[in-house]
């Protein structure tokens, strides 16, 4: 059986890649992909823990979180679509009306 | 069936939201104005039911509370107190939004999203299980992302919504990742069972990882300082009624979730998170007040002052005595009245400037537009003055009573240095609040008298009544907050 730490290492790696991407990318689409990566690494964690602690809560939690991630992506794309209609691009660096 | 009865306020709120969403399809834009009154009625009914539920709790003794739906939801003094906060904010926002949505084609969307967000916040207050807590948290967040970007033709509102969405979803991911470790170490998602198994969390480094991730996740919602970047932009750019919902309601949701997770579930790791919250509280209040001094946009200034207020509430985590939690919970209610009212008052000025097309149109909430407001809109100016003085903590207002309980508990717990920092911060905050009052009452007006739209005036009066009631007659509020704090011990 694959040790639990392998799953945790993989999910931590995926999470870090997602977090790095959110901080560095300028395109809204890539940003949403990176956020999905972070949420899915948490799902991987949940399922791995669920299998190793012999409880089902984790798998139920993962199902809920998959549905919520989809809803989140839908709202995100809706906001980016509205921005695209106004600016003709989704370059987040150029959205800087609000600053001190 | 019996269990559903305890959820009556939530059911009323969500049923009103669904009814409005459906009715909106069949109504013409003119008759959609009715939907605002329907939403207000629904929130009032839910508020009444919540107040009634306190009687049920008193019969059983406040300490007990009820666990319903296989222990996934808790109905106790803490949850009902925070539901009261969320419903009061929803009431103020619903009334003010009657005018904001006048003759709009999207009224039903606004009210449905607002009521669903309120429903999510209320469930978070009751949540007794990580799954329920996360789902409700996301429900409230997703609805408010849509609300922040509600003005689709306004680039500022879109930018506010975009920033809120990006930071909000990153914080949701951090929070979920932290929760997975709590689940992995203890093997359960139920908060009381996590507390019972917390020995497993302290014995491995996983517990510390979970605390760091959860503080970051909730810190975004509470807008504590290293995680605050979205807050000023979102509060400034979003429509004023939505800023009011975010600052007064959504922020308190972060606090009640943190109360449940840290104080109840992760009690065994108290030294770790207590230290972190002490630093966060000091940094947050100092940074918020220092930056607020140099702001020229009033909504942005209120946003930074809202950061400072979150710093004061976070002191409850740093001190962790029953009295400090009472103070923190009371401050949450006081802040809800003050901040909701202040953002609505700023919204009235934005409405005046955009409908008159005079003054600083580029930044409609600019300080210059508040010149001589005391003569132009006496009611708005007077309410704004009450709110900012309450935020600074001047008696006899809600802000003074809440600060008094919170700061005296800090001194009683032997953390005098923290109390001194907080009091110095309050003194500093008076500078920029007094400047706003000077603009409103001392500088000459640049235009004639304007009469406030009726809904705005009612919303302001509700908030003023709350602020003054808590300041002049604080006993019932202190008692309710004490009972709520006892749940956590």
Contact at CB, A65 and B294, closer than 8 angstroms: no
- Distance from the Cα of B99 to chain A's closest Cα (Å) equals 24
Measured distance CA(B205)–CA(B209) in Å, rounded: 7
Task: Please give the pLDDT value at position B46.
Answer: 94
Task: Please give the pLDDT value at position A67.
Answer: 93
Contact at CB, A71 and B134, closer than 8 angstroms: no
Contact at CB, A98 and B165, closer than 8 angstroms: no
Which residues, in sequence order, are CB contacts of A6 under 8 Å at separation 6+? none
Contact at CB, B131 and A92, closer than 8 angstroms: no
Q: What are B's interface residues with A at a Cβ cutoff of 8 A? A: 130-131, 134-135, 138, 142, 145-146, 149, 152-153, 155-156, 158-163, 165-166, 169-170, 172-174, 176-177, 179-181, 183-184, 187-189, 232-233, 236-237, 291, 294-295, 300
Contact at CB, A58 and B131, closer than 8 angstroms: no
Contact at CB, A65 and B187, closer than 8 angstroms: no
Task: Please give the pLDDT value at position B1.
Answer: 60
pTM score of the predicted model: 0.93
Torsion angles phi and psi, residue B75, rounded to 5:
-110, 100
What distance lies between CA B286 and its chain's CA centroid? 20
Which residues in chain A have their CB less than 8 angstroms from residue B300's CB? 100
Domain ranges for chain A, please list them: 26-94
Which residues in chain A have their CB less than 8 angstroms from residue B142's CB? 68, 71-72, 75
Which residues, in sequence order, are CB contacts of B289 under 8 Å at separation 6+? B304, B305, B308, B425, B428, B429
Task: Please give the pLDDT value at position B444.
Answer: 87
Contact at CB, A92 and B162, closer than 8 angstroms: yes
Say if residues B311 and B256 touch (Cβ distance below 8 Å). Answer: no
Residue of B nearest to A44 (CA): B180
Q: Is the pLDDT of residue A100 over 60?
A: no
Contact at CB, A79 and B158, closer than 8 angstroms: yes
Residue of A nearest to B134 (CA): A65
Choose the closest CB to A42 out of B135, B177, B300.
Answer: B177
Measured distance CA(B190)–CA(B133) in Å, rounded: 10
Say if residues B300 and B232 touch (Cβ distance below 8 Å). Answer: yes
Q: What is the CATH code for A26-94? A: 1.10.287.3510
Say if residues B140 and B246 touch (Cβ distance below 8 Å). Answer: no
Contact at CB, B237 and A65, closer than 8 angstroms: no
Contact at CB, A31 and B237, closer than 8 angstroms: no
| Mean per-residue pLDDT pooled into runs of 10, chain B (489 residues) | 82 94 86 89 93 78 72 88 93 92 86 94 92 94 93 88 92 93 89 85 84 91 88 91 92 92 86 89 92 90 92 90 90 92 92 83 84 88 92 88 91 90 91 90 85 90 92 89 84
Which residues in chain A have their CB less than 8 angstroms from residue B159's CB? 83, 95-98
For B125-253, strand residue ranges (E) read none
Contact at CB, A83 and B183, closer than 8 angstroms: no
Q: Is the pLDDT of residue A25 over 90?
A: no
Residue of B nearest to A84 (CA): B158
ipTM above 0.90, yes or no: yes
**Which residue in this structure is represented by tokens 């395109």?**
A27
Contact at CB, A38 and B170, closer than 8 angstroms: yes
Residue of B nearest to A18 (CA): B170
Size of interface A-B (CB pairs under 8 A): 125
Which residues, in sequence order, are CB contacts of B308 under 8 Å at separation 6+? B284, B285, B288, B289, B292, B425, B429
- DSSP tally for chain B: helices H, then strands E: 22, 2
Task: Please give the pLDDT value at position B374.
Answer: 86
Stated as kind and residue range, the H or E segment containing B334 is helix B322-356
Pair type for strands B73-75 and B66-68:
antiparallel
Task: Please give the pLDDT value at position B63.
Answer: 59
- Distance from the Cα of A40 to chain B's closest Cα (Å) equals 9
Which residues in chain B have their CB less than 8 angstroms from residue A51's CB? none
Mean pLDDT of chain A: 89
Task: Please give the pLDDT value at position B19.
Answer: 94
Which residues in chain A have their CB less than 8 angstroms from residue B169's CB? 35, 39, 72, 76
Which residues in chain B have their CB less than 8 angstroms from residue A92's CB? 162, 166
Residue of A nearest to B164 (CA): A76
Mutate to test the interface with B, among A20, A79, A86 (most CBs of B within 10 A): A79
Contact at CB, A19 and B180, closer than 8 angstroms: no
Per residue in B60-81, pLDDT (tens digit) is 665 567 788 888 898 888 899 9
The tokens of B408 are what?
């005296």
- Mean pLDDT in residue range A32-54: 92
Task: Please give the pLDDT value at position B61.
Answer: 63
Residue of A nearest to B138 (CA): A68
């Amino acid at each position: 059986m694959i040790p639990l730490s392998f799953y945790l290492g993989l999910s931590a790696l995926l999470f870090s890649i997602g977090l790095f991407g959110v901080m560095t990318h300028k395109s809204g689409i890539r940003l949403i992909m990176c956020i999905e990566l972070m949420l899915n690494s948490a799902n991987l964690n949940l399922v791995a823990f669920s299998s190793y602690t012999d409880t089902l809560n984790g798998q139920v939690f993962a199902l809920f979180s998959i549905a919520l991630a989809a809803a989140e992506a839908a709202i995100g794309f809706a906001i980016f679509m509205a921005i695209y209609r106004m600016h003709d691009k989704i370059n987040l660096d150029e959205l800087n009306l609000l600053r001190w | 069936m019996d269990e559903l009865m305890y959820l009556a306020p939530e059911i009323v709120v969500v049923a009103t939201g669904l009814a409005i969403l459906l009715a909106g399809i069949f109504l013409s834009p003119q008759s959609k104005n009715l939907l605002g009154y329907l939403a207000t009625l629904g929130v009032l009914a839910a508020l009444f039911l919540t107040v009634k539920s306190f009687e049920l709790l008193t019969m059983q003794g406040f300490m007990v509370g009820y666990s319903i739906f296989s222990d996934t939801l808790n109905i106790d003094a803490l949850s009902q107190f925070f539901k009261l906060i969320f419903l009061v904010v929803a009431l103020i926002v619903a009334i003010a939004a009657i005018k904001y949505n006048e003759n709009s084609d999207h009224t039903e969307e606004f009210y449905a999203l607002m009521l669903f967000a309120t429903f999510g916040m209320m469930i978070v207050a009751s949540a007794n299980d990580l799954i329920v807590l996360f789902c409700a948290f996301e429900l409230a967040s997703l609805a408010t992302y849509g609300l922040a970007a509600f003005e689709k033709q306004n680039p500022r509102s879109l930018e506010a919504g975009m920033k809120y969405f990006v930071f909000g979803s990153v914080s949701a991911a951090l929070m979920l990742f932290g929760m997975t470790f709590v689940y992995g170490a203890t093997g359960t998602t139920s908060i009381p069972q996590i507390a019972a198994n917390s020995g497993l969390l302290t014995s491995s480094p996983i517990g510390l990882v979970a605390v760091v991730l959860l503080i970051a996740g909730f810190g975004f919602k509470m807008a504590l300082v290293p995680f605050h970047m979205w807050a000023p932009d979102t509060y400034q750019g979003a429509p004023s009624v939505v800023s009011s919902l975010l600052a007064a309601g959504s922020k308190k949701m972060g606090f009640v979730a943190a109360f449940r997770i840290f104080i109840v579930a992760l009690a065994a790791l108290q030294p770790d998170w207590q230290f972190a919250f002490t630093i966060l509280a000091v940094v947050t209040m100092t940074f918020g007040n220092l930056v607020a001094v140099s702001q020229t946009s009033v909504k942005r200034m209120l946003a930074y002052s809202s950061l400072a207020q979150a710093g004061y509430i976070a002191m409850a985590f740093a001190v962790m005595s029953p009295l400090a939690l009472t103070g923190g919970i009371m401050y949450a209610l006081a802040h809800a009245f003050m901040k909701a009212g202040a953002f609505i008052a700023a919204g009235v000025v934005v409405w005046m400037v955009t409908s008159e097309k005079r003054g600083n149109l580029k930044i409609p909430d600019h300080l210059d537009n508040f010149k001589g407001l005391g003569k132009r809109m006496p009611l708005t100016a007077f309410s704004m003055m009450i709110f900012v003085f309450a935020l600074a903590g001047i008696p006899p207002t809600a802000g003074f009573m809440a600060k008094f309980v919170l700061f005296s508990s800090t001194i009683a717990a032997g953390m005098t240095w923290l109390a001194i920092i907080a009091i110095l911060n309050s003194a500093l905050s008076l500078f920029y609040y007094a400047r706003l009052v000077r603009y409103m009452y001392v500088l000459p007006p640049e235009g004639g008298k304007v009469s406030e739209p009726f809904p705005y005036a009612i919303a302001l009066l509700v908030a003023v009544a709350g602020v003054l009631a808590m300041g002049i007659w604080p006993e019932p509020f202190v008692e309710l907050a004490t009972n709520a704090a006892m749940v956590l011990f």
